[in-house]
């Protein structure tokens, strides 16, 4: 890998790879679970790639995320412990989601999606509120609609 593990979650919904970033306790794992279940409820693919830490690398101009070997296929369920989860070994990242305090978010941003550069790859970026998975799923759904307008709703 090109660098040490990054504090983030990664998952796949439909054909979209999502990288969720945020402080400890910001709701990354709960949001991952919500997104996976939302995709599956619509009959789409929903898989964990990694919970809590990911390895990021550039491959053929794309950002690829995979789980550190020690946590592959495991998800921390607060109050329950480590749980085995259906997972994919890696994902091509299509959207970076940053979980931020709701008071730091613009109510009506002029430009809903920003950009971020990771491993020299420029990617679309979306701010979502910490610990509000219902609103975050809604915002991610709209971001994916913007990024892939002729695609199905995966979540």
Q: Is 115 exposed, middle or buried (0-12, 13-18, 19+ CB in 10 A)?
A: exposed
Q: What is the pLDDT of residue 107?
A: 92
Q: Is residue 153 part of a domain?
A: no
Overall number of domains in the chain: 1
Radius of gyration of the chain (CA): 14
Q: Is residue 53 part of a domain?
A: yes
User: Tens digits of per-residue pLDDT, 70-100?
Assistant: 999 999 998 999 999 999 999 999 999 999 9
The alpha helices in the chain, defined as continuous H runs, are: 28-41, 133-147
Q: Is residue 155 part of a domain?
A: no
The domain in which residue 139 lies consists of: 6-148
User: Tens digits of per-residue pLDDT, 94-141?
Assistant: 999 999 999 999 999 999 999 999 999 999 999 999 999 999 999 999
% of residues, the chain, pLDDT over 90:
96
User: Tens digits of per-residue pLDDT, 39-62?
Assistant: 999 999 999 999 999 999 999 999
Q: Is residue 34 part of a domain?
A: yes
Is the pTM value of this prediction over 0.85?
Answer: yes
Q: Is residue 1 part of a domain?
A: no
SS3 content of the chain, % helix, strand, coil (to 5): 25, 40, 35
CB 42 within 8 A of CB 31: no
CATH number, domain with residue 41: 3.40.50.300
């Amino acid at each position: 890998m090109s660098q040490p593990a990054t504090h983030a979650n990664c998952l796949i919904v439909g054909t979209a790879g999502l990288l969720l970033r945020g402080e400890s306790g910001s709701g990354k794992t709960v949001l991952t679970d919500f997104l996976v279940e939302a995709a599956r409820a619509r009959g789409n693919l929903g898989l964990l790639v990694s919970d809590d830490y990911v390895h990021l690398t550039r491959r053929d101009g794309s950002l690829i995320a995979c789980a550190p070997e020690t946590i592959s296929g495991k998800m921390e369920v607060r109050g329950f412990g480590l749980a085995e989860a259906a997972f994919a070994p890696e994902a091509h990242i299509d959207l970076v989601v940053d979980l931020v305090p709701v008071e730091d978010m613009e109510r009506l941003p002029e430009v809903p999606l920003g950009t971020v550069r990771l491993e020299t790859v420029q990617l679309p970026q979306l701010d979502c509120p910490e610990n509000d998975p219902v609103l975050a799923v809604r915002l991610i759904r709209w971001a994916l609609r913007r990024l892939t307008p002729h695609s199905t709703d995966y979540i």
